Amino acid sequence: METPLYFISDVHLMLNTSPEEESKQKKLFSFLTHISNKGGTLFIIGDFFEFYFEYPSVIPKVYFLVFSKLHALKESGVDIHFLVGNHDYWVQEFITSTLTTKTHLGETTITVNGKTFYLTHGDGLLTWDRGYRALKSVIRNRVFIWLYRWLHPTLGYKIADWVSHQGQHYIHTDEYNQKVVKELKVFAETITNEGADFVICGHYHQMVDEPVNGGRLIVLGDWIQYFSYGVFDGRTMELKRWKFDA
């Protein structure tokens, strides 16, 4: 696996265009161009899209430029690993074969230069996420996915667009964020006890780099507030913000 390793999560590319969305895409595209120029491996740790559901013969045209950039990045020789999130789990061969090198439908572990990375999107890890874990078991069920694909794509994406605008916010109080990090550190301890050097996740829209039991917990932030990413150069791991001048 080629270094540097780049890690991003929670870009949440929207189904509708807007000035804010165009600005986000410009920053993202400059980041992808940087990776193309430097080489290495890109890990997308879930929720790259606000919603993505792939039909056998239909893909959403609103993501055309994004698809083009990812395909060009892959063609340049950069391996792209896509770890699905709670917003973009429903992939088929366009994502798994055309745009990415490998797609992971759950957490995965890799070892590079003697360092072990445990990668997970992170959804459902908190003790109070019982209701979400139950919902997750339904919406990732093969029967549910098969039935949803029988909806006309226009209707399917209309429903998804409506749901995505029903009060979903990614900014929380400091108290809530601290509570989340405390629980994530408990989870990370179990993983580092098993030999992982880095536990890397997204989902929680925080930039966190905390020592845990001889390893590190890294929460990757997002591309809504922070425009952040992790990078492992073969020796050291850093959590950084992408600097972009339009």
Domains of the chain, residue spans: 5-241
Burial zone of 52 (CB within 10 Å; 0-12 exposed, 13-18 middle, 19+ buried): buried
pLDDT value of residue 91: 93
Per-residue pLDDT of the chain (246 residues; tens, 9 = 90+): 999 999 999 999 988 888 989 999 999 999 999 999 999 999 999 999 998 999 988 888 889 999 999 999 999 999 999 999 988 889 999 999 999 999 999 999 999 999 999 999 999 888 888 888 887 888 888 998 899 899 998 888 888 777 666 445 677 788 988 999 999 999 999 999 999 999 999 999 999 999 999 999 999 999 999 999 999 999 999 999 999 765
- Give the end-to-end CA distance of the chain in Å, rounded to a whole number: 32
pLDDT value of residue 167: 45
Using a cut of 0.85, tell me whether the model's pTM lies above it: yes
pLDDT value of residue 140: 85
Q: Tell me the fold of 5-241.
A: Purple Acid Phosphatase; chain A, domain 2 (3.60.21)
Residue 164 contacts residue 16 (beta carbons within 8 Å): no
Could you give the CA distance from residue 136 to residue 150 in angstroms, rounded to a whole number?
20
Would you state the structure tokens that stand for residue 67, as one six-digit string? 């698809």
Could you give the CA distance from residue 143 to residue 21 in angstroms, rounded to a whole number?
33
pLDDT value of residue 174: 87
Residue 148 contacts residue 138 (beta carbons within 8 Å): no
Phi, psi at 232, each rounded to 5°: -115, 115
The candidate with the shortest Cα–Cα distance to 217, out of 242, 171, 186, 195, is 186
Could you give the CA distance from residue 65 to residue 29 in angstroms, rounded to a whole number?
9
Could you give the CA distance from residue 186 to residue 182 in angstroms, rounded to a whole number?
7
Alpha carbon separation from 53 to 82, 101, 103 (Å, rounded): 15, 19, 15
Residues 6+ apart with CB under 8 A from 184: 122, 125, 126, 201, 204, 208, 217, 219
Phi, psi at 120, each rounded to 5°: -150, 145
